[in-house]
Structure 1
Amino acid sequence: MLRVGDTSVLSPARSTDEPPLSLPRDPAREAAHRELSKRMYHENDPSWFQRALNAIWDWVDKLFSSASSATPGGPLGLVVVIAAVLLVAGALWWRLGAPRRGPASSAALFDDRPRSAADHRASAEAHAAQGHWNQAVQERMRAIVRSLEERTLLDVRPGRTADEAAAEAGRTLPSHTDGLRSAARDFDDVTYGGRAATERAYVRIAELDHDLERTKPVLATTLSSSHSADRNTRQGAAE
């Protein structure tokens, strides 16, 4: 006879020796992975950029820690070493300038705007008054070359470089050959070598400009006569 609430006849009898019901390990792992991969669990995760930045900082921290342990004085000693290296590098950069990527005189001395020697001198003086020595040196060298062109000691030739102008001018102004070469070298260092000009360099080029204005050129006929006289003198001494 059945009694209310008696379920013994509705379900099969389970032996006390059977293990409890459980999911296999692999399906359980896959179910957990699927559950945790849902977007709701990752809304507050850092972005890929933040993760990359954190990885970089972790690498820098490990590198700094390793270097600190190997440097006498620990972190403070490492900071001193880095500061010394930066100071030496800065001093070398200031002294030697930026490395040149090509020949010193690879570009023309003048741009496409025709200007007189007086214009270049005025511009040089204006830059010098403001302490802009790079521009002052450049404009003063241009004034020298333009003045020589205006005096017909140099032919007007587009594309001429500072070195070429100095070499050509030295033939008619031989007493200033060294000064012209030095001025051209200062112009090249400032314009193409990445070096900083100084007030001393500008004063030297300005004095050269004044001296050239007062110097008379040595004409080709004079040079030929001088060479002939020297040759005759040597021949007479030989006889």
Structure 2
Amino acid sequence: MSFDARPTDFSAARIQEAVQEILGAGILPHIVQAGHPVLRHVAAPYEGQLSDAELGHLIDLMRSVMHKAPGVGLAAPQLGIPLQIAVLEDQFAVDPEVAAVRGREPLPFFAMLNPRYQPLGTTSLAFYEGCLSIGGLQAAVLRPESVRLDFAAPDGTRMQRTFTGWQARIVQHETDHLHGILFLDRAELRSISNNAEYAARWAQPDISRARLELGFLPDPTDD
């Protein structure tokens, strides 16, 4: 599946100005919601548009916004900043059965700049996802089970890491944000549920019941 998001037209000076405005406000910024064009453009690669201090403060701020939401990832465009920066962390207590089915293990905090991912192997799995920029909706998304992530650390060090299970899903979701892609672009449209319906009907560890009753994705056990 391909997407044709356009590169942001923000200049380096305009990006720095936007970051300085957010950092100087003294409050946690709101998370940008779907419909805002910043979420539909390819963010600018990070190429030193910010000072080291500004970059560090922005990452700290993004982590605070992510925690308050609460969520497991946040991309800079979700704060209205079209830069390829995202923060990720998953330390939530999860039911052991859910964790086992979804391959969900704690993900220590890290920030990634200019990330790219490549699927590893041929296995893809579908689970429900939500997004801090699409309030009130959940949908099943089929994603590669394992990926290789290439990115830069905030100090500029080039990194390569492998992720599997729910960690791989978080990595893909946040990297997509930096390229103008929202999870609904990849979702099974017939699976879309509001939060109340999801909680009441589809919050099982896997999607088998939702898949059957809502009529999306073939049963992988069928011939």
Coarse TM-score class (shorter-chain normalised): under 0.3
Structure 1 or 2: more helix by fraction: 1
Structure 1 or 2: more strand by fraction: 2
Task: Return the index of the structure with the highest Cα Rg.
Answer: 1
Structure 1 length as normaliser, TM-score?
Answer: 0.22
Higher-RCO chain (CA-CA 8 Å, sequence separation at least 6): 2
